[in-house]
Amino acid sequence: MPSTFDSKLFLKTVSSSPGVYRMYDDEGTVIYVGKAKDLKKRLTSYFRANLPNVKTQALVSHIANIDVTVTHSETDALILENDYIKQYMPRYNVLLRDDKSYPYILLSDHKHPRLSYHRGPKRDKGTYFGPYPNGGAVRESLHLLQKIFPIRQCDDLYYKSRSRPCLQYQIGRCSAPCVNKVSDDEYAVQVKLASLFLKGKDLQVMTELVSKMEASALALEYEQAASYRDQIAALRRVAEQQEVSNTSGDMDVIGAYYASGVACFHLLFIRDGKIFGSRSYYPSVPAKTELDEVLSAFMIQFYLNSDSQRTVPKEILLSHSFDDLPELERAIQTALEKKVEIKTSVRSERANFLRLAVTNATNAVNTRLSHKNTVEQRFLLLEEALEVSTLIQRMECFDISHTMGESTVASCVVFNREGPSKADYRRYNINGITPGDDYAAMKQAITRRFDKIDKSGKIPDVLFIDGGTGQLRIAQKIVDEKFVDIDKTPMLIGVAKGEGRKPGLETLTHGENEQSFTISADSGALHLIQHIRDESHRFAITGHRNKRQKTRNTSTLESIAGVGPKRRKALLQYLGGIQEVKGASVAELAKVPGISLEMAQTIHDSLRG
């Protein structure tokens, strides 16, 4: 639909100052956020007679209103632009969806400190090391530390309940401070060495261990000396594996690659001359976006994201330059209040790091494009196998999971033309049915999915039901009822496992006429169906296990309104356990301190259903 926005009237009032502009569509939704050194000049460029960029043409055709905010400088505009992008997530902006916080290693502040994985706000007392690029890097580091320094990594509840050493002590990966197998002073020494190691001071740790080994040998404590010797050997092996650079200091190395609408930024985190870790980012890029805009948007959103809790080094190496780079550098320095230098032209070892990052980014994009093409090909084969005349844009698959009727969970997974759309996945906790009744569970899940559906909702083109004819028949009945006033109705297909549950022998059934058919085992269409079926099964069973574990770890008293931790504790201590509480009369419950007669009646009735 062509834009009805009066650009000439609007441009007459626009200032030539630096600032930020927000473009709205006719529904009042922000569709683009931009910044400019000269607002009038930049906004005028959008309304020229011949726009060369296809993306800009599409953007301008949807503009219904523009809102302008003047700033003191271009640097302030850059920072404000990032805040607006994060707030509105406009569809025509390049978006970096990096909402996960970075993980840390926590060395707790206990009598016998514990090393553990930490993500999120720093509420626990202790020393935090990091942030690490991803959770895998933290777990790998913790596993490595366990081999070198015998410091406990068990949680506090497990630590306090020990009466004898656990397996970690038997295999030499913990010194068992829980049962006093090591003195407090010796444990403190190992904690200090681990702390120095995490700070990157490998040489200092090595020196201290050598001196301790020599002192133990002179004191004729040969077993202790041998223990230090083994620690030194393990530390030396680690140092040899990690020593990949003669370059000192900290830096981020960013390799970028952009092709066929897919962009990847591969980051190498260099700390103290070593590759601390790496991570790939795939920003959401609108069609026909120029490389300069992709680079600028990524750098702004990545380095001005205060929520990520990551540290920014003084030196950043970037594989490509772009027009706003000097301004971005000043904006980062202003926002972080520290000197940061962004380099795009480097030599020797730094150039090798950049080449490595670009190679990883290029391989990642090529892999994604190959996967994208494979998924597209499978969709085409599925359309042919199902004999549909229109494109299949959205598929959903339902599955039920429970253990002998306990903690029943239904899953709904969604695939589009690019593969799994995990943001659209849903789980349904099934309640109020006979335990183990899969038909009733499927009926409840499908009903809840389409309960308030209308023509503007997300309607799947194909709906797969993981199960036999009975479940498919129930699902088809509900769909017929819910879609009676809607033109578009999903095609239902039942997926029944073959003989021996072997992949490739699945029987498919049309929900409308219940006619069965099969697809060749080597067909990409069947592989796509297997993929969505297996994904729905994985998602359902994960939800079921979590629910089952939560149920088993929850006291029946916790579900009673008005019974908090203090009253639960009083009930259990006074009566002697949960079974005694369940068997107690109202009068006996009322004798517990803090339990009134009315509360005793509530507890009595709740425990008896």
Mean pLDDT for 115-125 is 84
Q: What is the predicted pLDDT for the residue at 309?
A: 59
Report the Cα 143 to chain-centroid distance in Å: 22
Confidence bin at 389 (pLDDT 50/70/90): confident
For residue 492, the one-letter residue type is L
**Tokens read off for 268:** 């190498």
Nearest to 88 by CA among 164, 21, 146: 21
Q: What are phi and psi of 553, to 5 degrees?
A: -90, 0
Angle between helices 524-552 and 348-386 (to 10 degrees): 100
pLDDT in tens, 136-162: 778 888 888 888 888 999 988 888 888
CA torsion sign for 401, 405, 407, 410 is positive
pLDDT higher than threshold 70 for residue 239: no
**Tokens read off for 396:** 């959903």
Q: Beta partners for 106?
A: 116, 128
Q: Is 559 exposed, middle or buried (0-12, 13-18, 19+ CB in 10 A)?
A: exposed
Q: What are phi and psi of 39, to 5 degrees?
A: -60, -45
Cα separation, 161 vs 91, in Å, equals 54
Mean pLDDT for 10-35 is 92
Those residues whose C-beta lies under 8 Å from the C-beta of residue 171, and which sit 6 or more positions away, are none
Q: What is the predicted pLDDT for the residue at 123?
A: 80
Other Cβ atoms less than 10 A from the Cβ of 516: the count is 11
Q: What is the predicted pLDDT for the residue at 244?
A: 44
Confidence bin at 368 (pLDDT 50/70/90): confident
Output Rg (C-alpha) for the chain, integer angstroms: 31
pLDDT higher than threshold 60 for residue 1: no
Segment among 248-257, 293-302, 307-316, 573-582 with least mean pLDDT:
307-316
Q: What is the predicted pLDDT for the residue at 528?
A: 94
pLDDT higher than threshold 70 for residue 515: yes
pLDDT higher than threshold 80 for residue 504: no
pLDDT higher than threshold 60 for residue 237: yes
CA torsion sign for 532, 534, 540, 543 is negative
Mean pLDDT for 101-106 is 82
Cα separation, 492 vs 291, in Å, equals 42
Segment among 97-106, 176-185, 313-322, 469-478 with least mean pLDDT:
97-106
Confidence bin at 29 (pLDDT 50/70/90): very high
Confidence bin at 509 (pLDDT 50/70/90): very high
For residue 580, the one-letter residue type is E
Does residue 177 contact residue 155 with C-beta atoms inside 8 Å?
no
pTM: 0.67
Other Cβ atoms less than 10 A from the Cβ of 339: the count is 10
Question: In the chain, what are the domains?
Answer: 7-88 (3.40.1440.10), 104-242 (no CATH), 251-366 (3.30.420), 395-551 (3.30.420.340), 556-607 (1.10.150.20)
Cα separation, 252 vs 275, in Å, equals 10
Mean pLDDT for 350-370 is 90
Instruction: Give CA separation, 494 vs 255, 398, 507, in Å.
Output: 46, 10, 8
pLDDT in tens, 413-461: 999 998 999 999 999 999 989 989 999 999 999 999 999 888 888 999 9
Instruction: Give CA separation, 245 vs 273, 343, 388, 425, 480, in Å.
Output: 6, 18, 57, 44, 65
pLDDT higher than threshold 60 for residue 242: no
Report the Cα 334 to chain-centroid distance in Å: 29
Strands (E), 240-308: 251-259, 262-271, 274-281
Angle at 192 between CA 315 and CA 208, to 5 degrees: 90
Confidence bin at 307 (pLDDT 50/70/90): low
Cα separation, 609 vs 598, in Å, equals 17
Q: What percent of the chain has pLDDT over 70?
A: 94
Segment among 34-48, 229-243, 253-267, 411-425 with least mean pLDDT:
229-243
Angle between helices 184-198 and 135-148 (to 10 degrees): 140
- Higher-confidence residue of 562 and 245: namely 562
pLDDT higher than threshold 50 for residue 243: no
Does residue 567 contact residue 594 with C-beta atoms inside 8 Å?
yes
Q: What is the predicted pLDDT for the residue at 310?
A: 67
pLDDT higher than threshold 50 for residue 79: yes
Mean pLDDT for 481-501 is 87
Instruction: Give CA separation, 108 vs 13, 152, 198, in Å.
Output: 59, 11, 14
Average pLDDT in the chain: 87
Confidence bin at 98 (pLDDT 50/70/90): low
Q: What percent of the chain has pLDDT over 90?
A: 36
**Tokens read off for 272:** 């103290």
Segment among 60-64, 154-158, 233-237 with least mean pLDDT:
233-237
